[in-house]
Structure 1
Amino acid sequence: MVDLSIEALLDYQEIVSKTFRSEKEGYEFYNNYAMEKGFSVRKCYMERDQTTKEICLRRFVCSRQGFRAAKHMKKANKKRKPRDISRCGCAARMVIARNKEMGLWYVKDFIDEHTHELAASDLACLLHSHRRISDEQKADIIEMEIAGVRKHQIMNILEMQYGGYDKVRCVSRDAYNFCYRYKLGTIAKSRQERDPDFSFKYLIDEKGHLKQLFWSDTQSCLDYEAFGDVVVFDSTYRTKGYNLPFVPFVGLNHYRSTVVFGCGILSNETFEAYEWLLQTFLTAMSQKHPISVITDGDLAMQKAIRIVLPSSNHKLCNCDFTESMLDKIGCSCCKL
């Protein structure tokens, strides 16, 4: 026990005396340390400098830190099977802060006490923050995907090629996600080659999950140039598979037929999400602001419109929509 205590003390003193040139370097150090010990890391709390708005403090925690929020446990209308509960209130963390004068990051706080068993050395590389797909593996996966090899077969081939999953350092889900992102980029590139004015933009989070998405094509831009004085949009309707808000930008042409100026998908209905969507919409439409915008009464949407479209007249539609956006455009209180 004495030897273990001395070893732990030496590790603590070595870590708290560390300095890093960037936040990324600090994360990579703690993540490598976590792999040696047998746990996974995620980025948690951060603080920004009030003047420069740059990150000045960042907290890295064990992936099993905290507990799952009660609101996620009590949802009655879940679309997907809930994930296994992994958080158990682990207190392990490393906090780094930036020294303005020196321009270096130093360790402000470090706790190495876990409330769970640590993974074995041969399994730690399969924990979430340690999984990687190398460039060589990506090239192999693309070649096998083009040849028509199934995803689970790709993983079996990689396992045989590298001599075990611990040598591959990724799991089947990583291969599926990589193939999906590769196809997404290929489709977007192919569409832009056929349609040079096709606009396609999206945001992902730190885990590679889709946050926001917007797209429009040449015909949408032409329609907006001619009929974009009045734009109607809301996020009442959601996609069937993932229950995400779907936001179409629509209007009426000279035949009073519906025309679509663009479409968006959001992961949440916050001010930041709507602000990004409206900014992206304006960029695709050459910064032409509509004269009037008609929406529902969402407060986050209203705030984003005031910031991004300050010169546009914002009107609310009081109708009860049950079918589609066509009902909204044709309703008596939204006569264009």
Structure 2
Amino acid sequence: MTVIIHSCFSQLHFDIDQNETANDTESEDNDVNCKNDMKLIDGVENVEEPKQGMVFNSLDEIALHYRKYGKQQGFAVVQKNERKNTSGHTCYITLSCASQGTRKASSSKPIQTTRTGCKACLNARLVNTKWYATNVSAKHNHDLSPGKARYFRCNKNLDSTAKRKLLINDRAGISMSKSYNSLIVEAGGYEHLEFGEKDCRNFIAKSRHLRLGTGGAGALCDYFKRMQAINNNLYFAIDFDDDCRYEMSFAPFVGVNHHGQSILLGAALISSEDTKTFVWLFETWLNCMNERAPSAIITDQNRAMKNAIRKVFPNTRHRWCLWHILKKLLEKFGSHSQYHAIKGAIRSCVYESQTRDEFDANWQSLLDCYNLRDNAWLCGLYSERTFWVPAYLKDVFWAGMTTTQRSESMNAFFYGYVHSSTTLKELWINTIVLCVETILVLVLPEELF
């Protein structure tokens, strides 16, 4: 049995981060510490204009400062192009006016847009543990609206305290209008709130959707039991998550039958993607399979999953998705002057090497040819070559697969049935109907009950 597991097919998001991400320039002159850059003028917080050389303690600090400055001046802020270092941490960032760029309108359906090609932005880089503003452009090519700034998406923030009060009032049967008015009074006026009534209504609507309601958990379990009585092949397990999360990853188990067809062997709704969660998931799946472990598993390059597989399936051959690894070549070498030559050499080494010795020799040659012996990413890949290099994986039957493509295809199939508004009951009823081999594993947060 060969199984493909892809942990991050889809997440049921209930609080969506609207920030975008991005890439840009450096320079580090005239260090200006900005810990005391916010002053009160006539009782109103005044945010100092960002300048080249300002120093911040964290990425969150510099982003908060620029958003507050944008709110004060009257423009919305988006996070653009970020660049990561070899260890995977963000080292360059661009924060820009939301009116940056242009959008081409469709000829069949014109689109209204506020993008004016504005160049106002702030670039920052990480040096040791500090963030430095390296390039700041403050000139806008459009009118600013300080009075409307609180309505910009980037300035809206429904904090945890407000959420808790809204949930308590909703469960007590208090109307949204009264709940929102009480928040206005408590804040000293609506202008002091970072959210509107519509944001509150959306939050409560999503919370109600997630909530199973009184007796809902028992009803869901009873449904599973009735289905199990009809079909002995049904298996389900429920565990509780103390973190009470609002978003969970949906992970399908996809296999291949003797006709070469993809089949859904099971599905999991997991509250986190750490080693402990994956161990529980794999042990539960192994139990429902009568302790018969798969002979081979293909996954993406997930460390937590790798550790869990090694613990629960010690005799199963584990393989990483080759497509996901080679996809990173652009990220790792896109700025290299010999990118295309390096990409071709690596792909040739991977696909054309017929034996382990041949791969090792070709790999060492390309490292010498392009002076890449100090590249940490390539060194890491080579040390774990038994997980992804075809020449090292010929001793196991893989049903013609080297990637998680079948799992991705199954994911695409689910997109028609699973979305951010899908309730838990609808999700699992649909999954039962869609399963060819009906095996379900379910993790539900305690808050639902």
TM-score normalised over the length of structure 2: 0.42
Partner of 1:31: 67
Partner of 1:136: 161
Counterparts in 2 of 1:187-226, with a 5 A limit? 198=239, 212-214=249-251, 215=269, 220-224=285-289, 226=291
2:354 aligned with 1:326? no
CA contact (8 A) 1:126 1:166 kept: no
Counterparts in 2 of 1:163-242, with a 5 A limit? 164-176=189-201, 178-179=203-204, 198=239, 212-214=249-251, 215=269, 220-224=285-289, 226-229=291-294
Partner of 1:55: 90
Distance (whole Å) between structure 1 residues aligned to residue 133 and residue 161 of structure 2: 35
CA contact (8 A) 2:297 2:316 kept: no
Distance (whole Å) between structure 2 residues aligned to residue 232 and residue 56 of structure 1: 35
Secondary structure at the aligned position of 1:16 is classed as coil
Distance (whole Å) between structure 2 residues aligned to residue 117 and residue 45 of structure 1: 25
Matched letter for residue 314 of structure 1: W
CA contact (8 A) 2:53 2:134 kept: no
CA contact (8 A) 1:92 1:112 kept: yes
Partner of 2:173: 148
Partner of 1:242: none
User: Structure 2 stretches of 5 or more lacking a match?
Assistant: 1-47, 222-235, 252-268, 271-280, 329-385, 414-432, 438-449
Partner of 1:41: 77
TM-score normalised over the length of structure 1: 0.54
Residue 93 of structure 1 and its aligned partner are, at CA, apart by: 0.6
CA contact (8 A) 1:199 1:284 kept: no
Distance (whole Å) between structure 1 residues aligned to residue 177 and residue 322 of structure 2: 44
Secondary structure at the aligned position of 2:436 is classed as helix
Residue 74 of structure 1 and its aligned partner are, at CA, apart by: 9.3
Distance (whole Å) between structure 2 residues aligned to residue 201 and residue 143 of structure 1: 19
Counterparts in 2 of 1:84-95, with a 5 A limit? 85-95=113-123
Relative contact order (alpha carbons < 8 A, sep ≥ 6): 1 or 2 greater? 2
Distance (whole Å) between structure 2 residues aligned to residue 185 and residue 287 of structure 1: 32
Residue 86 of structure 1 and its aligned partner are, at CA, apart by: 3.9
Partner of 1:314: 398
Partner of 1:107: 133
Provide closer, same or farther for how the CA distance between residues 97 and 184 of structure 1 changes in structure 2, counting only shifts above 3 A. farther
Partner of 2:126: 98
Provide closer, same or farther for how the CA distance between residues 18 and 232 of structure 1 changes in structure 2, counting only shifts above 3 A. closer
CA contact (8 A) 1:221 1:285 kept: no
Aligned-residue CA RMSD (Å):
5.4
CA contact (8 A) 1:291 1:313 kept: no
Residue 300 of structure 1 and its aligned partner are, at CA, apart by: 4.7
Distance (whole Å) between structure 1 residues aligned to residue 143 and residue 174 of structure 2: 37
Distance (whole Å) between structure 2 residues aligned to residue 48 and residue 199 of structure 1: 35
Distance (whole Å) between structure 1 residues aligned to residue 157 and residue 312 of structure 2: 40
Distance (whole Å) between structure 1 residues aligned to residue 162 and residue 84 of structure 2: 37
Secondary structure at the aligned position of 1:129 is classed as helix
Provide closer, same or farther for how the CA distance between residues 120 and 158 of structure 1 changes in structure 2, counting only shifts above 3 A. same
Q: How many residues align?
A: 254
Residue 110 of structure 1 and its aligned partner are, at CA, apart by: 0.6
* Structure 1 residues 268-322: Cα deviation after superposition (integer angstroms, max 9, x where no partner): xxx9xx545x9559749954278589xxx995599899559x9774324899999
Provide closer, same or farther for how the CA distance between residues 292 and 131 of structure 1 changes in structure 2, counting only shifts above 3 A. same
- Percent identity between the two aligned chains: 15
Distance (whole Å) between structure 2 residues aligned to residue 289 and residue 280 of structure 1: 13
Distance (whole Å) between structure 1 residues aligned to residue 400 and residue 285 of structure 2: 24
Provide closer, same or farther for how the CA distance between residues 83 and 167 of structure 1 changes in structure 2, counting only shifts above 3 A. farther
Partner of 1:8: none
Provide closer, same or farther for how the CA distance between residues 212 and 141 of structure 1 changes in structure 2, counting only shifts above 3 A. same
Which stretch of the first structure deviates more once superposed, 141-150 or 18-27?
141-150
2:145 aligned with 1:119? yes
Matched letter for residue 95 of structure 1: N
User: Structure 1 stretches of 5 or more lacking a match?
Assistant: 1-10, 77-81, 234-270, 328-336
Secondary structure at the aligned position of 2:136 is classed as strand
Provide closer, same or farther for how the CA distance between residues 127 and 303 of structure 1 changes in structure 2, counting only shifts above 3 A. closer
* Structure 1 residues 120-139: Cα deviation after superposition (integer angstroms, max 9, x where no partner): 33x31221222122443223
Matched letter for residue 398 of structure 2: H
CA contact (8 A) 2:286 2:292 kept: no
